[in-house]
Chain A
Amino acid sequence: MILNAPEQHADQNNAIPLTVIGGFLGAGKTTFLNHLLRQASCRYAVLVNDFGAVNVDVALIASHDGNTINLNNGCICCTMADGLGEALIRVLSAPVLPEHIVIEASGVGDPWQIAEVAMLEPDLQLAAVIVLADAEQLPAQLADSYIGDTVRRQLRRADLLMLNKIDLVDAARLQTAHETLAGLQPGLRVIETRDAKPPAMLMQFDHATTPERLPLFAPEDTPDHGIQRWLYRRNIRFEREKLERLLDSLPASLLRLKGWCWIEGENAPFLLQMTGSRWSLGATEKSSHPLLTSLLGEDSLLIGLGTARLPEDAVLTALFESAFAKTSLEMPVA
């Protein structure tokens, strides 16, 4: 697996993706996690600081053993009361492994400290650090002498920022919040949310190892949150170095990217995943090859989600076509 984070271990084919949810107290982390558990587009293991705040629908609870709540949609929710390490060990030694682990950072903690766990554990890989911010409170929080530095520290290494509670601010204040963020962290990917509800499509990206599980093929495939979609399918080969360079320099309005990419010199497609600024490019599992072939043949498929500012399809397409291998330029368009 090749990642833009060079520190990653080399053999992470079966590593479980881990997303860290950060953000100051009151930003909406718990609400976000509740949405995640309810929508449950895959078997999430959600690790929280305390159960008290997590308000799982009683109807969803299959069993509750003190440390762990098992939901009947396959998700589990664990408390980290006895430490992050203990909670992780519980999750990773469960009879059925989760498809995605989501860890809630403390409201004053630095989410990056938890992200480092995913970078060190061979059976985990860092999917993203998603930080929530309260659109109404953020400027005041940043200016607060007690907590300003704590909030800045949380934002410092966010891959994706969810600017939450936008319904509580007028257009001018929303603009101020965006400008403040841009000033702090140029190029930071920002998505606007109300009630910490992530766009369904955004989360369904997490776990799909084959394209039929993507919203691309889902019946309720309607844009929400002003999310723009970009879809690209063509029988071409990418040049690895050019593609990696491109992935590091994509426009900030592109929030997520997933794809099955044929790379020159390889005999199976590679899985491309990007959340905010963090991307990975890894070999696909052998067991998925027959299905991939039946769905895609030898086409490369890319699906991107972005904000309202996402460039037009033709612009994005041109960007990716600049990363083709020379040999594939002569190939016919599919």
Chain B
Amino acid sequence: MPATTIITARKIITMNPGLPEASHVAIRDGRILAVGNAEDMKFWPDAVIDTRFADKVLMPGFVEGHSHIMEGSIWPYSYVGYFDRVSPDGVMVSGLKSIDAVVERLKAVSDAMSDPNAILFAWGFDPIYFNDRRMTRLDLDRVSTTRPVLIIHASFHIINTNSFTLQKVGIDRSTNIDGVPKDADGEPAGELQGPAARIRLFRGLQWNALSDSVSSDSVRRFSRSAVINGATTVTDLHNELTELCLADFRKETSAADFPMRLVPALSRIGATTEQIIERIGKLKTTNSEKLYFGMVKLVVDGSIQGFTGRLRWPGYHNGAENGLWYIAPNELDEIVGKLHAAHVHMHIHTNGDEATELAINAIEAAQIAHYWADHRHTLQHCQMASPAQFKRMKALGICANLFSNHIYYWGDQHYAITMGPERANRLNAAGTAKNLGVPFGLHSDAPVTPLRPLFTAWCAVNRITASGRLLGPDERLSVADALAGITIGPAYTMRMDHLVGSIETGKFADFVVLEQDPFAVDPMTLKDIPIWGTICGGQVFQAPKP
């Protein structure tokens, strides 16, 4: 008979309402054999007792329902964001509170590089925190005048460069396109926006940091980030899944020591709906214990803080023109209709409430044409949904995966600039979703914000912005509901709640090991609970000590 192990813990929070708390969990073959107390374990007298976690708290491994493999590929480059951030190797990188501080960090990096001509690439910068003082080429000239210095913004849409780079790629005062803003002297200010400027930059340098972002190293780094942050099931929510990428995914996830279950969503870019249906069907037949296919991602609009999200009246609080459709409304109806009829599980990015409305309309039409009781189509981000929209979602069986981290990172900007007071208060309205019974998860969109499910839950529980504003107190969740939003909630939206998301017999033995009980700490310190590591399929992964 295969070996049985019984793990004892100070407390096991199961997220199974039928047995919310336990002290022992028996595992066999990487799965949960039984959950209960010491007495319940008497049926397995020969089991090995593992007491390593006797003073710790176990929960189901966290489920990150919206993140990207770029969380693994971006970290070899220098982080220069405003907020502190922990690397996948457990190193705390401090946030930079001024442009001078960014320059200073990059200068040190540049000075330490042995090749004076090598490209210095950094990420995470967001000018929104500097009162509209934009970074210029002159700032980055202080970093280096002999090598290209590039900083990609937190939005991943804009790149700042130094004068050396501009000269090298042939962008100068005679350049006159929208994507290259000028300074008061008529020189390029140093920001490059839009596809034309980006293509010139990468062609001019014959180098593209963002093109070959997936590699075995990226997958591994992504999984280390998961371990440190307590996640055992993690999405890569928009991937064209080229053969090259699939080979890396299969190689890494089939390794015995791979510490998480990877759940990519197939992008529809560049293929017809019929091809997508065929591809996702084939991919599903290759699913293995740590690699799951089945979800297809559609992107309907842009982002709110980038003013590319589609809003209903009255639009942007500051009067900016409405955002962009990435799929035309009537095309969305057609795509959603076909995918739904073929029983393809959709994850639909909608940030603004107008995009959300169209996605709901499309699913409603698809549901009328072809009823599918348990489709679990999920609106991703769904940041501005109104109560009326949540009610329609409930009626139609649509799930929400809410971007709660936005409340902390951009809540102040949503209040003052993009949404104005009342609408900012309903940003990522998890309370409404909960009250109305809309199935939901809470996510980070890593690397846009850090992959840290406990922090995401903290945002939903406290709704505190970076400046300390309480944004929409009535939308706050209880700790229990927020913890469901990072475990069984997203597992349901991914059609994986029969496998992960709670500690129940038959599910994978996937746990996060916490040093403290989330129900016992002050909810304001939920995010600070130390994470010892994870257990995935019964295998223990200790996180490096910070």
Residues of A within 8 A of B (CB): 5-7, 9-10, 24-26, 49-50, 52-53, 79-86, 88-89, 107-108, 112-114, 116-117, 119-122, 146-147, 149-150
Contact = CB atoms under 8 A, between A and B. Distances in A.
B324 A85 contact: no
Contact of B208 (A85, A108, A116): A85
Contacts of B322: 149
Contacts of A149: 321-322
9 contacts: A49-B270, A84-B199, A85-B208, A86-B211, A89-B203, A108-B331, A113-B179, A120-B199, A146-B354
Nearest to B170: A122
A72 B303 CA distance: 44
Nearest to B172: A9
Nearest to A5: B176
Nearest to B326: A108
A112 B272 CA distance: 25
Interface class of chain A by DSSP: loop
B270 A116 contact: no
B240 interface: yes
Contacts of A117: 195-196, 199-200
Contacts of A25: 328, 330-331
A108 B328 contact: yes
B328 A7 contact: no
Contacts, number: 100
B48 to A, nearest CB: 50
A49 B240 CA distance: 14
Contacts of B328: 24-25, 107-108, 147, 150
Interface range, B side: 35 or more
B271 A88 contact: no
Contacts of A121: 199-200, 203
Contacts of B272: 50, 52-53
B199 A88 contact: yes
Given A79-B270, A85-B208, A89-B203, A108 B324 contact: yes
B76 interface: no
Interface string B186-203: 000000001111111011
Contacts of A86: 211
A146 B329 contact: yes
Interface in B377-392: none
A151 B384 CA distance: 24
B269 interface: yes
A262 B212 CA distance: 50
A81 B195 contact: no
A112 B178 contact: yes
A82 B241 CA distance: 11
A253 B321 CA distance: 32
A50 B170 contact: no
B275 A52 contact: yes
Contacts of B324: 108, 150
Contacts of A150: 324-325, 328
